[in-house]
Structures are given as C-alpha cells and as structure tokens.
Structure 1
Amino acid sequence: MHRWFSDLFVLFTISLATSATVLAQEACPKVVISADPAYPPLHWYDGQHFQGASITLTTKALNAIGVPFEFRYLGPWKRVLIAAENGSIDLVTSLKDTPERREFLTFSLPLLSNPVAVFVRKGESFSFAKKEDLIGRRGGVARGNRFGQPFDSFMDEHLQVEVTHNMETSFRMLIANRFDYVLTGYYPATNALMTSKLDLRIQAVKPFVTETANLVGFVSKSPCLKYLNAFNEQIDKMRKNGDIDRELKKATEEWRRHPMLHKD
C-alpha cells in the first residue's frame, strides 16, 4: 500500500513538473504591445502602423531577445491604459512611472527623455519661474496624461486643470482663451505645433515643470513580464551605443516629413 502510494506520488510529481515546463514555454507565445496613438515623435499611429522612436526601440529590443511580438492599435490613450489594467495586452511603450500605474505595470529602465512643459499663447505669456506660478490659472491636460511624482500630486492638489480628449483639443481651447496654459510633453507638443502651424500662436515657456523619463511598462500579471530583465539589458546597450538618441532624431524628422495621425 505504501509502495503504491509512493509510486503514485512520484508519477504525479513528474507529471506536474512536466506540465509546469510546458506552461512556462507556452505562457508568452508573443508580446502584445500598444501605445498612445497621438504622441509624436515618441509614438503615433498613421492609420496602418505604429511609428515613432519608442516603437522602433521596443522592436529592436524584442528582436534582440528573440521574442515574437505584435503591435495592436486600441484607439485613444485611455483605452490603452484600460487594456493594460485588465491584462488584455502585455506591454505599453512608453509612459511615465506613477503610483497609480504601478498597480498594474512593472516599469523598465528609462527609455526616452520627455520633459513636461507649460505651453501658452504667444504674446500673452505670464510670469513663470516655478510650478507655483500656475496656481489660480486655468490649465488643460489631455486625458490619460500623468507626469510623474512629485508633480502629479502638486497638480491634483493645487492646480485648476481641465481634462480634454487629446492634446490637439487642449491647444484649440488654449487658442480660444478657455485655458491660460496647457501641460504636456515638450517633444510631442513641439512637433504637433510645428506640423499644424500652431507654433505661430503657441509657445513653450521655460523652465520645464518636470524632466522625468518615459519608460516601458510590462503588464504585471502578464507572463511576458519574465522578459523584463533581458529587455532592460537591451535598453542599456542601446543607450551606450547611441541608438536611443539616433532613433529619437530620426522619428522627429520622419514626423515632420509625414505628419499623419489616424482619426477615430
């Protein structure tokens, strides 16, 4: 009886180990990736494909690791975050690290520099030297945008900020004098203003309100999270060999030549 039970236990253990090995091998057949569709030159969707610096760098890193992947367009940025939260995608490229996002994302090493700036109407700028100068003024920010701590807490507690559908809407409301300023990433906003000719009417003021980096977010409950360390190694290599700076420059030039965003 004891021998029979012992043999059964051994067989069960071997079966369980074999099943675990198979599951581990099949757990992440491919990495499903999405991004903000309207944040050039870091990332944008042209109606057929995602483009931009973070898209190219993520592609290079995953190719180097040897992991199959798929970019999936999901619509507005807010939907991308919801998909990450419910686990229907595996990776988001790229975004700020915030406490709220850490509840469902595990972040990579810094990928791209993306300072956050205050944008105002040309000829109507107010005295701005520190974030406290925004208190009491009407601000705009695109839905889903967060800028990292400690600025997010300051914004939530002290600033009068209205959330809009996207960056373009924020700028239109700024021109219409419904906002005194808009908060957004410096590089995407500068490129968007140039291609829409709105740079003649809107400008960024210095200093930047924050200079936190953009990172890649792996969905914490995704089995693809196991590739995070290898992904970080590739980020480090690309930074050292100059790929990150080169791809940001190339993406900026590409966007200015072909400024095309898909409209839902």
Structure 2
Amino acid sequence: MSLRRLAVSSFALIGLALAGPGHDGSPSLGATARAQTAPPAAQASAAPGPTSPLPPIPGCPLLIASGNPQYPPYLWRDPTDEQKLVGANADLMQWLATEIGIPVETRYVGPWGRVQEEMRAGRIDLIAGAFFTLPRTEYMDYFHPAFRETRSVIWTRSASPVPYKRWSDLAPKLGVTVINNSFGVEFDNYARQSLKISQVASIEQAIQMLQRGRADYLIYEDTPAEAYVARNGGPAIQPLLPAIAREGLYLTLSHRSRCNTPELRGRLARAVYKLSQERVMNRLVEQGFVLWRKQPSL
C-alpha cells in the first residue's frame, strides 16, 4: 500500500471513531471530546444536580393564608370542611410552600371584609389574591408581578340590558356589588363621587338583587360571577363591554406578621417571579373550574 493510501485510510478510521458511539453503547472519542470541551453551563443543564432544601426561618414555622371565600374558581369554602378554602389560589399556596420551604395553611376566617381586618391585625400572614390599592399598602406588602390578571365588568339582566358604553352611562342607574371590593383606584374614586352603588355581603346576594330587579347592574369580575350564575341558575344575566377595569391579583404579606422578615420577603419575591415565568396559574385555574363544577354548594 502506498504512503498516500495509508494516510487516507488512517484519517477515515479516526473519523469513524469521532463520529459515533461504539457497538457496546459506550461514548465515542468524539462524544467524549465534545463533552470535555462543552461550556460549563451546557454540562450543568445536561445533568442538573439536586437542589438543597431551604433552611427554616426562626420564629416562622407556619404561614396562615386566606382570601375572598366567594371567588371561584380561585377560592371558596370546602363543602366537606367549612374552615378550609379550596380552589386555584389555595393550590397556589401549596405550590408556594414548596418553593419557600415553609408550610402554608389556607383558612376560612370570614367574608372578604373580615379577611382584610385579620390581615391588618396580623392574625393572618398572607392574602392569596388581592387587588392593589394605596390604602392597603398601609398594612400589607405586595409582591410583583401580579400572578393573575382579572377583568371586572358590568352585569345586567339579559331581558332589560343597561345601555352602557362608558362609566357615565351608569350614573342614572342603581348598581350593586360586594362589600369591600375594589375595581381599581380610578374607578373606585369615580364611583364614590358619581354612582349609586349598594354593597352587600355576598356575590350570591348581589346576583339575586340583579335578577329580581332590585338593582339595574352588578359590578364584579367576569370569571367568578359566571361561575356562580352557572351553578345557581335564575333569570339570565350577561356581562357588558368594555370592562370597567383590568386588575392584577397579587400575593400580599401582612406588615404585622411575625414572619415578615427580609429573609421571607426575599423567598416570596423569588417564588412569585418564578410563578410568572412558568405560567403555573393557567393550570391551577383550569383545575379550579373542574373542582367547582363537581362540588355541591354549601
């Protein structure tokens, strides 16, 4: 064999060795070389190591969360245990507990107004879903970004809809909503000055007032109101557009919580950021709808 043919054959054999694994499945010389020369980030992503559990925070063995208990598919009372809240936001609190390394218990402590009083006093630690208002910043910390965007709309009887295109169209009409609800700073200020809106204790009561003609319109978020209407029946009501507000739902922490420390706030901030990046809430809301539809009402 000539020297030239010997050289060509040798290069071909080296190429085969570099190209693929051996017949026994062991890595080839080329694969080994590529692994050794790959950047550290690529090697790390290919074989992630186990994450270390977060250490406990002294004086904070448990976090108590609550929220609006008339808020399907996000939160409502468990028919089998009325002291417990279930729904998408309750599931979110369990996800959060895993992320921050501290157990979270989601309890029913009363209607939405009472929840805010308990938060102000520090008797609960977290609210699992609150709109942003300036007065609320006086007693609780907000964690950004919002974990869910919601839409508040005008609901009216389908048989006698209110002509509505702008907020001022509501001025001659009588409205109803649930006590201590907020629909954004701008609308709240306008409503206080220009609209006649009664406040009642529950969304079910508000829907019944609208259906019976004791109010001309209802202001509430579209998804929870739709859930109640689908379960309770009665005369048809419908949402009107444009929406009066689009608001974010935020995780909040009481200023007076014994657990409100820089360490916990840091863990919560990182968890909420991860939540927004991974779109966890989409799956939890779908699960909440399924659970709400199959559970009996209290």
SS of residue paired to 2:161? coil
Identical aligned pairs, as a percentage? 25
Mapped pair 1:103 → 2:135: no
SS at match of 1:229: helix
- How far 1:28 sits from its partner (Å)? 2.0
1:70 aligns with 2:105: yes
Gaps of 5+ in 2: 1-55
Among 171, 175, 191, the alignment partner of 1:155 is: 191
Q: What secondary structure sits across from 1:129 in the alignment?
A: coil
Q: Does 1:94 align with 2:129?
A: yes
Q: For 2:205 and 2:143, locate their aligned partners in 1 and report how far apart those are by CA, in whole Å.
A: 31
CA pair 228-151 structure 1, distance change in 2 beyond 3 A: farther
Task: Give yes or no for the alignment of 1:117 onto 2:149.
Answer: no
* Mapping of residues 1-264 of structure 1, within 5 Å: 25-47=57-79, 48=81, 49-109=84-144, 110-198=146-234, 201-226=236-261, 227-261=264-298
Structure 1: distance between partners of 2:242 and 2:198: 22
Contact kept? 1:116, 1:210, Cα under 8 Å: yes
Is the 8 Å Cα contact of residues 93 and 104 (structure 2) preserved in structure 1?
no
Which one-letter code corresponds to 2:125 in the other structure? D
The amino acid that maps onto 1:210 is A
Counterpart-to-counterpart distance in 2, 1:164 and 1:181: 13
Measured in 2, the distance between the counterparts of 1:228 and 1:156 equals 34
Shift of 1:241: 2.1
Q: CA deviation at 1:89?
A: 1.0
Deviations 1:16-67 (A, max 9, x none): xxxxxxxx95332211111221110111112413111111112201221101
Work out whether residues 129 and 206 of structure 1, in 8 Å CA contact, stay in contact via their aligned partners in 2: yes
Q: Output the amino acid matched with 1:157.
A: Q
- Please, which runs of 5 or more residues in structure 1 have no aligned partner? 1-23
| Matches of 1:252 and 1:57, distance apart in 2 | 14
- The offset of 1:68, in angstroms, is 2.2
The CA distance in 1 between the partners of 2:186 and 2:59, in whole Å, is 37
Larger Rg computed on CA atoms: 2
Structure-2 separation of matches of 1:189 and 1:34: 20
Structure 1 pair 180–86 and aligned structure 2 pair: CA distance change class (3 A) = same
Q: Which amino acid aligns with 1:183?
A: I
Query: Which string of whole-angstrom CA distances, capped at 9 and with x for unpartnered residues, describes residues 167-226 of structure 1?
Result: 11111111121110011111111111111124x511111111000111112101223233
Mapped to 2, the partners of 1:54 and 1:25 lie a distance apart of 24
Taking the aligned partners of 1:206 and 1:128, their CA distance within structure 2 comes to 8
Give the stretch that moved more between structures: 252-261 or 83-92: 252-261
- Choose between structure 1 and 2 for higher RCO, CA contacts under 8 A separated by at least 6 residues: 1
Q: 1:75 to 1:117 in 2, by over 3 A?
A: same
AA aligned to 1:132 is S
Q: CA deviation at 1:238?
A: 2.4
Aligned-residue CA RMSD (Å): 1.7
Letter in 2 for 1:29: P
Query: Would you say the 8 A contact 1:62–1:68 is kept in 2?
Result: yes
Using the alignment, how far apart are the partners of 1:134 and 1:225 within structure 2? 42
C-alpha distance in structure 1 between counterparts of 2:218 and 2:268, whole Å: 34
Q: TM-score, normalised by structure 2?
A: 0.75
Tell me the CA shift for residue 140 of structure 1: 0.3
SS of 1:26's equivalent in the other structure is coil
1:102 maps to a residue whose letter is: T
The CA deviation at 1:259 is 4.7
CA distance in 2, matches of 1:225, 1:133: 44
Q: Is the 8 A contact 1:38 1:44 kept in 2?
A: yes
Q: In the alignment, which residue of structure 1 is the partner of 2:27?
A: none
The residue matched to 1:190 in structure 2 has which SS?
helix
